[in-house]
Amino acid sequence: MSDKKAEPAEEDDFTLFRQSVADARPLKQQNTVHHHNHPPLSTRLRPQQQNRRRTSEDLLSDEYRVKPVTSADELLFSRSGLQQRVVKKLRRGQFITRAELDLHGMVVTEARQALLEFIAECNVHHARYARIVHGKGHGSSGRHPVLKNCLNSWLRQIDEVLAFCSAQPRDGGTGAVYLLLKRG
């Protein structure tokens, strides 16, 4: 038998936790819509919205060709007739984004479905300005970032999208886009 005395009993974990967060303050709430925190869209959409969603799924073709981009390239698209001052404000990141979607780690089929659900959610919640993180494609095989190129093509095919552009560095730079949607 050892002559060592028994170690003093450790403090209760709960007490230690309380002491360590005693001066913490709650964060201000944001009105951010996360598409994956809601029940499946099909249970909440009206029939005409479901029809529009099916049409959008049919229209999102991988055959729609745009010039391939690299991870460093900036994306910029706007529908004709959109005021240039609006596009300029979008590029500067001057609109408050009401919804965000992160496509990191998704394969193309998952990303396509997530995008369609996200756009539908934005419409339901009247979110006109959003941010989508697609990543820079450093894990992609080949020279071009796969999801960035897919997103560049898909967003142009969705009627609800008025404009999109690469985000400011503080919001993900060329690994994310700001999105301007039609009023719902």
**Sequence ranges of the domains in the chain:** 30-181
pTM: 0.67
22 has pLDDT over 70: yes
Do 99 and 130 touch, CB atoms closer than 8 A?
A: yes
Residue 87's pLDDT is what?
97
What is the pLDDT of the chain when averaged over all its residues?
80
CA atoms within 13 A on the CB side of 48: 2
Give the pLDDT confidence of 121-131 residue by residue, as tens digits: 999 999 999 99
Write out the two tokens for 153. Answer: 């093509």
30-181, what's its fold? Ribosomal Protein S8; Chain: A, domain 1 (3.30.1370)
Max mean pLDDT among 20-24, 60-64, 89-93 falls in 89-93
CA dist 23 to 20, 48, 56, Å? Answer: 8, 50, 49
Distance CA(148)–CA(167), nearest Å, equals: 13
pLDDT tier at 105 (50, 70, 90 boundaries)?
A: confident
**Nearby residues of 38 by Cβ (< 8 Å), 6 or more positions away:** 44, 121
